[in-house]
Amino acid sequence: MTTRRQFLQTSGTGLMGLGFLQQSSPAQAKEEVVEFRQTTPTEDSLFWEKNGKDLRVALIGTGWYGKSDLFRIIQCGGKHIEVVALCDVNRKILEEAGELVAQRQVSGKVPKLYKDYREMLAKEDLDVCLIGTPDHWHALPMIAACEAGCDVYVQKPIACDVVECQAMFSAARKHNRVVQVGLQRRSTPVLVDAKKKFLDSGSLGKIAYVHTFCDYGQRKQILTPSDPPAELDFDFWTGPAPLRPYYDTYHLRRWRAFMEYGNGTMGDMGVHLFDMVRWFLNLRWPKRITSNGGIFVNQGGTPNIDDTQNTTWEFDDLNVTWEHRHWSEIRDPRYGWGAEIFGTNGTLKANPMQYDYKPRGNHPWLKVDAVTEFDKYPSDETEPGLEVRVAGANRAHMWNFLARIVDRGRPNSDIEEGYISTVCCILANISQHLGGDSLEWDPEKCLVKNNEKANQLLRREYRAPWVHPEP
């Protein structure tokens, strides 16, 4: 009889595994958590190993996830990767990143350091540019990198407003650049396995409802403004966003608590899960988007993102919903955030690190966890701030990016996919801002149908001297 571990580690056995679960009685099959490990190289890593070429790489935004992405491309690209330049408006963080890169890349060289991305792109002969800035600084550097002839890896959400998204998509296509968005669920091995076994196979049956959620997030905070540190050019850091007081918390990743710099929890956590669902179910644009919410509990705090939000994206014969509540307890210890996919034959839960599956009826859950890869990549164990259980997914996403740089195909999370998912999340926020208006998006005209108030919110005002990009 097929064991659960064989079921997980053997390719092409989705229906076999399903049969095993359905035939087992509750007395025969006990609920357990098993590990998923990528036991064979991915097609992209094999392609890169055979066809890899030398690439000159730069990073704009050398903070938390910027360095994480950069270290993954060094791990994946190996001797072919030379990080020649780094850019950040915080001199201390920039210099620290330079030393760390020198320790990790084959050449041992410290990259050239820049404060202004425009100067870097003008002076350096680059093949690849990674963008790991806060969200409000994604659009302008990404477009400039495409114009400079770079292939680009840009973090999610791709932008803060809809017109920025359109301009980024247009720039990538106009300049024929390979652009991978950091929506790495599309490359996550444990989720690729779940998609193949339970969704592509049709095992779940008819799916008419998907629920995505986040039970944790920013709590109420009362912050005290302070002077920016000497090493930070705070005016440049603010860039096109409105100029707010400086808080130390900005450099602890908590700029996400302010709508001036991002799109709230919807744009931070929600876009990952919405994009994952679209990929799972091969969805494009929804017919309607409706959202309600606000600051219902954390009133009087300094952050200004909503602590409560409920959203529905309506597709043909399918509703996808989202909810977040920053103030409640986590209902399922395994899933502080995730997606529940309900089919006529069973239920699938998933998030970036795991999935759980239960066939319909009185059957136990099959619970599957991604694992760390310290044995293959020992530096993961000591890398500060690394999300160790998704490092493998990030590597798979980078190999996919590198392979497409060589063959000039579309990567797993091509800019078009990032464009659709980001815009749909921004439109949810616009619906919420308008008191729950149901929005119908016209992807051809890039307008909301019959709602001029919504259309007036498709672009944000840029702070001078920065100029909003156009499609």
pLDDT at 39 (0 to 100): 82
Strand bridging mode 128-131 / 55-60? parallel
Count the neighbouring beta carbons within 10 Å of the beta carbon of residue 440. 16
pLDDT at 30 (0 to 100): 64
pLDDT at 29 (0 to 100): 54
pTM, two decimals, is: 0.93
pLDDT at 2 (0 to 100): 32
The encoded tokens of residue 233 equal: 């050019």
Beta bridge partners of 447: 442
Query: Please, what are the averages of pLDDT over each run of 10 residues along the chain (471 residues)?
Result: 42 34 45 86 96 98 96 98 98 98 97 98 98 98 98 98 98 98 97 97 97 87 93 98 93 90 96 98 98 95 95 98 93 94 98 96 94 93 92 97 98 98 98 98 97 98 98 96
Please state the three-class secondary structure of 338-356 as a single string. EEEEEECCEEEEEECCEEE
The encoded tokens of residue 337 equal: 């955030």
Strand bridging mode 128-131 / 318-325? unpaired
pLDDT at 13 (0 to 100): 31
CA-based max dimension of the chain: 69
Count the neighbouring beta carbons within 10 Å of the beta carbon of residue 1. 7
Strand bridging mode 151-154 / 366-370? unpaired
pLDDT at 14 (0 to 100): 33
